[in-house]
Amino acid sequence: MKAVGLYEFGGPDVLQVLDLPEPQAGPGEVRIRVHAAAVNPTDVMLRSGGHAVRMPDRTPPFVPGMDAAGVIDQLGPGVDDRLTLGQPVIAMVLFTGPRGGAYAEQIVVPAASVVPAPAGVGLPAAATLLMNAMTARLALDTLALPPGATLAVTGAAGAVGGYAVELAKADGLTVIADAAPADVDRVRRFGAAHVVPRGSGVATDIRALAPEGVAGLIDGSMQTTEVIPALADGGTLIELRGWPGPAERGIQVRPVMVRDVMTDTDALDDLRRRVEHGTLSLHVADVLPAEQAAEAHRRLEAGGLRGRLVLDFS
């Protein structure tokens, strides 16, 4: 089968088309004929060596990709009738595992990491949902703020930040979000009650709206220490890239890792239903042939995208 991966860590040009053996589904697993794989920042981290510490026993080639959409073409023993042959599905893929990631014509994943594709949505758009929305869901569940509480979200125009705003609004939270001038309307459409300017002054601007500080903050822009002043005493800061603190005034810093919930089927399926009900929106920046993965990585690293790039394996 065709895949896209790398033999050595480096820049986008290390990505190449590979010819790999066709995988077979084992007990409790399904094989998916991939039509679309989303390109995420964590894929860039794998390519550049940022995930090497999580793969001490792996040998190349390494195949990136955590988000796939396609059609089930093989069921392993013990898979129940929730999933069927020929069914359009979306899946989260653990690319640090021995089988590699989603940048491949066929992938084998635990059935628990697979849910039906949202009805009425094309597979390229469907491929952009799970990893980022599940990260946002995990962040909100970790905060566990009661309805009516005020949450701040930085990086709100991005994939995780946008989903955090949409899910928080659905949870009954009041959201203060940041945005560059060109993204203010976008972030308001996500459901932010207040929008403050993006940048180093974000904590001051959040405090102007919430003088006692906010109870929780999801740091989608990875500003770490810069956003701590926005939090109330005893509040909680959610970090997405592993930064553990420290913080003062009793503030908790809680790193979250989406790999911890990749087999939470009920939560994954809830995200699918929220797309169908219009609570969550899907955003595709562009669809590129799989052979142009290097160009997709260059465009992602250049910044400024709104929505996800998607690789076409159909």
pLDDT tens digits for range 181-230? 999 999 999 999 999 999 999 999 999 999 999 999 999 999 999 999 99
Q: Give the pLDDT score at 56.
A: 87
Length of the chain: 314
Q: Give the pLDDT score at 2.
A: 98
Q: Give the pLDDT score at 308.
A: 97
Q: Say how far apart CA 163 and CA 140 lie, in whole Å.
A: 10
Q: Give the pLDDT score at 57.
A: 87
Q: Say how far apart CA 160 and CA 153 lie, in whole Å.
A: 10
Q: To which H or E segment does residue 268 belong?
A: helix 265-277
Q: Say how far apart CA 45 and CA 179 lie, in whole Å.
A: 25
247: which 2 tokens?
């913080």
Q: Which residues pair with 236 in a beta bridge?
A: 216, 252
Phi/psi of residue 313, nearest 5 degrees = -110, 10
Give the list of residues 6+ apart from residue 300 with CB closer than 8 angstroms, or none. Answer: 39, 41, 44, 309
Largest CA distance in the chain: 59
Q: Say how far apart CA 14 and CA 9 lie, in whole Å.
A: 7
| Residues lower than pLDDT 70 in the chain | none
Q: What interhelical angle do 130-143 and 265-277 show, nearest 10? A: 110
Q: Say how far apart CA 124 and CA 219 lie, in whole Å.
A: 27
Q: Is the model's pTM score more than 0.75?
A: yes
Q: Residues 94-106, buried b or exposed e (16+ Cβ, 10 A)?
A: bbbeeebbbbbbb
Q: Give the pLDDT score at 177.
A: 98
Q: Which residue has the tokens 């553990």?
A: 244
Closest CA to 243 of 255, 251, 232, 235: 255
